[in-house]
Amino acid sequence: MLATDDGARVIAGGQTLVPLMAMRLARPTRLVDIARIPGLSFIREQGAAVVVGAATRQHVVESDPLIRTKVPLLAKVMPYVGHSATRARGTVGGSIANGDAAAEIVLVAVTLEATLTWRENGADHEMSAADFFLGPMVTSLPLAACLKSVSFPVWQEPRVGTGFHEVNARQSDFAFVSAAAQLALDAEGLCTSATIGLGAATAVPMRLDAVADALTGCAFDEAKVREAATAALADVEMLADLHASAAYRRRVAVTMVVRAVADAYQSAARRA
């Protein structure tokens, strides 16, 4: 159906598409409902990753013990995804396929270097999350394709900590700036590996690898993290709109990164 009709659109939870249709911003010729396809709704461990089906409801991910244990950063951000009512119907794949730079699930996918799988014309295709998102609500997903699953890599280190912070006008509203961090510590409390992501402030979520590199081999040092984040964002083009200026987003982005990293260090240090 998707291959034969350029105007057809996939719908699962409908938490993005239905409001767009109500505002006449989307006018699909037909809707292909995938919500009841059993093979698209699951959470399972597969090798060194946890794979989440595209039609898996967000509230299921929020309370899943495997996600809490194996993908703690995803578990941490889920309470920030919309409201409890929208999480009851919204899906993981729907959030990712929409490609909103402010979406928390999208940020985690980029930060953890998740792999996205979609099906088109009877064949499966894979792509890293970093390459999937092209611009605000623009992705590499072909019109005739359906997102199947998201694979989140599992960190094997025993002392892994996470941090997440965002700024918005009201709780559960779209974020103006968000930052996520995940890192591992050794027995002496020094960082052995780290990944840091920034969302909502730029056209697509981005990883701050330079900041992560600055943390490796170090204990937490707020001044050092702030300096590294400031340098990493110095030449990055920030979004500007009626909610927040580019200058505001740049300043707040540094603070959100520092807070997320601090929380990640603290949560990792609490693990035996």
6 within domain boundaries = no
> Is residue 107 located within the same domain as residue 164?
no
CATH number assigned to the domain comprising residue 225: 3.30.390.50
| Per-residue pLDDT, 164 | 98
Pair (248, 147) in one structural domain: no
User: CA 27, CA 17: separation in Å to the nearest integer?
Assistant: 10
Q: Do 186 and 263 fall into the same domain?
A: yes
pLDDT for the residue 239: 95
How much is the pLDDT for 251? Answer: 97
pLDDT at 272: 67
Both 177 and 207 in a single domain? yes
The answer on 119 and 56 residing in a single domain is yes
Note whether residue 23 is domain-resident: no
Quote the pTM value. 0.94
Please choose, from the candidates 203, 212, 197, the residue with its C-alpha nearest in 3D space to the C-alpha of residue 107: 197
Enclosing domain of residue 167: 160-269
Q: Which of 134, 153, 172 is the last residue of a domain?
A: 153
Do 140 and 242 fall into the same domain? no
Angle formed by the axes of helices 222-233 and 246-269, nearest 10°: 140
- Tell me, yes or no, whether 183 lies in a domain: yes
Q: Are residues 91 and 46 in the same domain?
A: yes
Give the pLDDT of the chain (272 residues) as one tens digit per residue.
Answer: 888 998 999 999 988 889 889 999 889 999 999 999 989 999 999 999 999 999 999 999 999 999 999 999 999 999 999 999 999 999 999 999 998 999 999 999 999 999 999 999 889 999 999 999 999 889 999 988 999 999 999 999 999 999 999 999 887 788 999 999 999 999 999 999 999 999 999 999 999 999 999 999 999 999 999 999 999 999 999 999 988 999 999 999 999 999 999 999 999 999 86
> Last residue of some domain: 153, 181, 201?
153
Of 129, 153, 177, the one marking the end of a domain is 153
Question: 227 and 125: one domain?
Answer: no
H or E segment at 44?
strand 43-46
CA distances from 54 to 11, 36, 224 (A): 11, 12, 39
Assigned domain for 123 exists: yes
Query: Which pLDDT belongs to residue 169?
Result: 87
Residue 19 is predicted with a pLDDT of 87
Residue 168 and residue 112 share a domain? no
Task: Residue 139: give its domain's CATH number.
Answer: 3.30.465.10
- Can you read off the two tokens belonging to residue 155? 């960190």
Overall domain count for the chain: 2
E strands present in 100-207: 115-120, 123-128, 133-135, 138-139, 145-153, 160-168, 175-185, 191-199, 206-207
